[in-house]
Amino acid sequence: MTKSITAPPEWRRRAGLVPARPFPPFGDVAELPQRQDSDGGWPGPSGRPELVTTAVNGWACLEGDEPDAANQAARFCRRLTWEQPDDVLGFLVGWEDGRPAEPLVRAHAPGQRFGDLGAGALFLGIYFEETGEDDALDAAVELHDVVVALGEEVWEPRNVLVGWAGAVLYRVTGEDAFLATAERMADLLCETQRPDGTWGDEEVDKMAGAALTAMADAVEARQEVEE
């Protein structure tokens, strides 16, 4: 296991360098498009229900006291995780006709939507913390393990949600593999942050500060328990 270069205090310091960019990790539940389908998913860029939009909207519902919609979203994310076909070299993040469908996040290929799997793992990890539902934790762990196995291309700042998911899973399990994921992504973010506090990518710039702070909170919370 590679030793971390940085630690939570440095993550917080780096987050403080980010120009003020409001990034709620979830939107106002009242503003969500009311298009959750019967399987519990929300449409993504493909027009089909997708993992990333369902995970983000499910998180919004969880925080917005909409438990029924959050429960359905978690069920959707679990099904999409567990019902992947065996012959796909990657991970299908869409849903059609009651089964996983394209878009396909390809293994060992640049420019893939690896952060979609991070979003799913993050939502299900937080959902487990709120509900204690073991199936949600199992699916979150599966998504984490799949995404970190998809290749070195995963380790780019745009996939910050992979690291955030690792930090949450470390908080709830104490397993070093999840801490390693969080630390590797945090090291990468610290290494690639520009002098002006940004990363030169609008989406990363919106997420990274909040992610670094949340990751520091999660890791330190677990370390305090173990002390």
Residue 13 lies in a domain: no
Look at residues 177, 163, 124 and name the one whose alpha carbon lies nearest to residue 11.
163
DSSP symbols for 39-72: TS-EE-TTSSEEHHHHHHHHHHHHHTT-HHHHHH
Written as six digits, the tokens of 19 are: 């120009």
If asked whether residues 113 and 145 sit together in one domain, one would say: yes
If asked whether residues 112 and 135 sit together in one domain, one would say: yes
Instruction: Give Dmax (Cα) for the chain.
Output: 49
The per-residue pLDDT for 4 is 82
Whole-angstrom Cα distance, residue 27 to residue 66? Answer: 13
Local structure of 12: helix, strand or coil: helix
- What mean pLDDT is predicted for residues 24-39? 70
Query: Measured in whole angstroms, how far is the alpha carbon of residue 217 from the centre of its chain?
Result: 16
Is the predicted pLDDT of residue 110 greater than 70, yes or no? yes
User: What is the band of 22 on the pLDDT scale with cuts at 50, 70, 90?
Assistant: low
Residue 8 lies in a domain: no
User: What is the band of 41 on the pLDDT scale with cuts at 50, 70, 90?
Assistant: very high
Residue 2 lies in a domain: no
- What mean pLDDT is predicted for residues 126-142? 98
Local structure of 101: helix, strand or coil: strand
The per-residue pLDDT for 82 is 98
The per-residue pLDDT for 2 is 63
Residue 215 lies in a domain: yes
The per-residue pLDDT for 20 is 75
User: What is the band of 23 on the pLDDT scale with cuts at 50, 70, 90?
Assistant: low
- In tens, the pLDDT along 54-82 reads 999 999 999 889 999 999 999 999 999 99
Is the predicted pLDDT of residue 196 greater than 80, yes or no? yes
Structural domain harbouring 220:
157-171+178-227
Exposure of 92 in the CB half-sphere (CA atoms within 13 A): 20
Residue 207 lies in a domain: yes
User: What is the band of 49 on the pLDDT scale with cuts at 50, 70, 90?
Assistant: very high
Is the predicted pLDDT of residue 30 greater than 60, yes or no? no
Residue 102 lies in a domain: yes
If asked whether residues 109 and 36 sit together in one domain, one would say: yes
- In tens, the pLDDT along 76-108 reads 999 999 999 999 999 999 999 999 999 999 999
If asked whether residues 149 and 161 sit together in one domain, one would say: no
Q: Give the contacts of 109 (CB within 8 A, at least 6 positions apart).
A: 90, 151, 153
The per-residue pLDDT for 21 is 67
**What's the chain's average pLDDT?**
93
Look at residues 122, 140, 100 and name the one whose alpha carbon lies nearest to residue 55.
122
If asked whether residues 134 and 94 sit together in one domain, one would say: yes
The per-residue pLDDT for 69 is 94
If asked whether residues 185 and 144 sit together in one domain, one would say: no
- Cβ atoms 78, 139 nearer than 8 A: yes
Residue 9 lies in a domain: no
Whole-angstrom Cα distance, residue 144 to residue 78? Answer: 13
If asked whether residues 162 and 88 sit together in one domain, one would say: no
The total domain count for the chain is 2
If asked whether residues 165 and 132 sit together in one domain, one would say: no
> Which residues are 70's β-sheet partners?
none
User: What is the band of 33 on the pLDDT scale with cuts at 50, 70, 90?
Assistant: low
If asked whether residues 49 and 114 sit together in one domain, one would say: yes
If asked whether residues 131 and 197 sit together in one domain, one would say: no
If asked whether residues 40 and 136 sit together in one domain, one would say: yes
If asked whether residues 163 and 143 sit together in one domain, one would say: no
- In tens, the pLDDT along 146-170 reads 999 999 999 999 999 999 999 999 9
Residue 18 lies in a domain: no
Rounded to two decimals, what is the model's pTM? 0.95
User: What is the band of 35 on the pLDDT scale with cuts at 50, 70, 90?
Assistant: confident
